[in-house]
Structure 1
Amino acid sequence: MTKIAILQMCSGIDPERNYNEIRSAIFAARDGGAEMLFTPEMSLLLDRDRVRAGTNIVRQEHSRFVAMFSRLAEESGVMLALGSMAVAVAGGRNANRSMVFSANGNSTVTYDKMHMFDVELATGETWRESAAYQPGNEVVTLDDTPVGRLGLAVCYDLRFPALFGELGDRRCDAIAVPAAFTRHTGDAHWHVLLRARAIEASAFIIAAAQVGKHEDGRETYGHSLVVDPWGELLLDMGSDGPGLAFCDIDLSRISEVRAQVPALANRRSVTAV
Structure 2
Amino acid sequence: MRSWTVSLFQQISRVQVKRQYNTMVSKRIAICQMTSVADKDANLSVVSKLVRDATKDNVQMIFFPEACDFICDNKQDALNSAESILTGNTVKKYRELAAEHNVWLSMGGVHEKDENNPKKLFNTHIIINNNGEIVQTYRKIHLFDVEIPEKNIRLKESDFCTPGNQIVAPVDSPIGRIGLSICYDMRFPELSTSLSIMGAEILTYPSAFTYATGSAHWHILLRSRAIENQCYVVAAAQTGHHNKKRRSYGHGLIVDPWGEVLADCGDSAPNYQVAEISDRIVEVRQNMPVFKHRRPDVYSLYTLSLRNTLLQEHSEQIKPVVIQTQHRTSGPTNVFGHVSVPESCVFYKTDLTYAFVNLRCVTPGHVLVAPIRLVERNKDLTDKESDDFYRTVRLVQNLMERVHEAESSTITIQDGPDAGQTVRVEN
Q: How far apart are residue 67 of structure 1 and its match?
A: 1.5
Aligned position for 1:73 = 98
Q: Corresponding residue for 1:191?
A: 219
* Equivalent residue, structure 1, for 2:137: 110
Taking structure 1 as the reference length, the TM-score comes to 0.95
Aligned to 2:335: none
Structure 1 CA distance for aligned equivalents of residues 70 and 49 of structure 2: 17
**Aligned residue in 2 for 1:54:** 79
Q: Are 1:91 and 2:117 counterparts?
A: yes
Secondary structure of 1:210's match?
strand
Larger relative contact order (CA 8 Å, sep ≥ 6): 1
**Counterparts of 1:56 and 1:106, CA distance in 2:** 23
Letter in 2 for 1:187: S
> Which residue number corresponds to residue 232 of structure 1?
260
Distance in 2 (CA, whole Å) between partners of 1:66 and 1:153 is: 18
Give SS of 2:151's match. Answer: coil
Greater CA drift, 221-230 or 102-111 = 102-111
**Structure 2 unaligned residues grouped into runs of 5+:** 1-25, 301-427
Q: CA RMSD in A?
A: 1.6
Percent of paired sites with the same residue:
37
Does 2:248 align with 1:220? yes
Tell me, yes or no, if the aligned pair for 1:168 and 1:264 is still in contact at 8 Å: no
Gap regions ≥5 residues in structure 1? none
Q: Which of the residues 162, 169, 174 maps onto 1:134?
A: 162
**Bigger Rg, structure 1 or 2:** 2
Distance in 1, matches of 2:228 and 2:264, equals 20
User: Is the counterpart of residue 207 in structure 1 residue 232 in structure 2?
Assistant: no
Q: 2:62 aligns with which of 32, 37, 40?
A: 37
Are the counterparts in 2 of residues 119 and 127 from structure 1 also a CA contact under 8 Å? yes
Kindly state the Cα deviation for residue 216 of structure 1 after the two structures are TM-superposed: 5.2
Does the Cα contact within 8 Å between 2:34 and 2:238 map onto a contact in 1? yes
Distance 1:187 1:150 in 2: 26
Partner Cα distance (1:78, 1:216) in 2: 35
Q: Which moved more, 1:88-97 or 1:102-111?
A: 102-111
| Residue identity matched to 2:172 | D
| Contact map agreement 1:43 1:85 (CA 8 A) in 2 | yes
Is contact 2:225–2:233 with CA below 8 Å preserved after alignment?
yes
CA distance in 1, matches of 2:214, 2:237: 11
Distance in 2 separating the partners of 1:3 and 1:57: 32
2-structure distance, mates of 1:260, 1:48: 48
How much does 1:25 deviate? 1.1
Once residues 176 and 48 of structure 1 are traced to their aligned partners in structure 2, the CA distance between those partners, rounded to angstroms, is 26
| Secondary structure at the counterpart of residue 58 of structure 1 | coil
Aligned pairs, number: 271
1:268 is paired with a residue whose SS is coil
Matched, 1:22 2:47: yes
CA contact (8 A) 1:141 1:149 kept: no
* CA shift for structure 1 position 239: 1.4
Give the Cα–Cα distance (whole angstroms) in 2 for the partners of residues 84 and 186 of structure 1: 18
Distance 2:134 2:142 in 1: 25
1:130–1:11 Cα change, 3 Å: same
Matched, 1:6 2:31: yes
Shift of 1:106: 3.6
Q: Deviations over 1:189-233 (max 9, x none)?
A: 100110010011111000000001113531110010000001111
2: CA distance, partners of 1:241 / 1:143: 29
1:171 aligns with 2:196: no
Question: Which amino acid is the alignment partner of residue 66 of structure 1?
Answer: V
Q: Secondary structure at the match of 1:83?
A: strand
Which piece of structure 1 moves more, 64-73 or 4-13? 64-73
1:35 shift after superposition: 0.8
How far apart in 1 are the matches of 2:90 and 2:189?
32
Q: Distance in 1 between matches of 2:135 and 2:201?
A: 20
Is the Cα contact below 8 Å between 1:49 and 1:216 reproduced in 2? Answer: no
Q: CA deviation at 1:142?
A: 4.0
Work out the CA distance in 2 between the residues paired with 1:99 and 1:216: 28
Secondary structure of the corresponding residue to residue 111 of structure 2: strand
Relative to structure 1, the CA distance from residue 73 to residue 142 in structure 2 (aligned partners, 3 Å threshold; closer, same or farther) is farther
Q: Distance in 2 between matches of 1:57 and 1:240?
A: 27
The 1-side partners of 2:271 and 2:219 are apart by 19
1:104 is matched by which residue type in structure 2? Answer: N
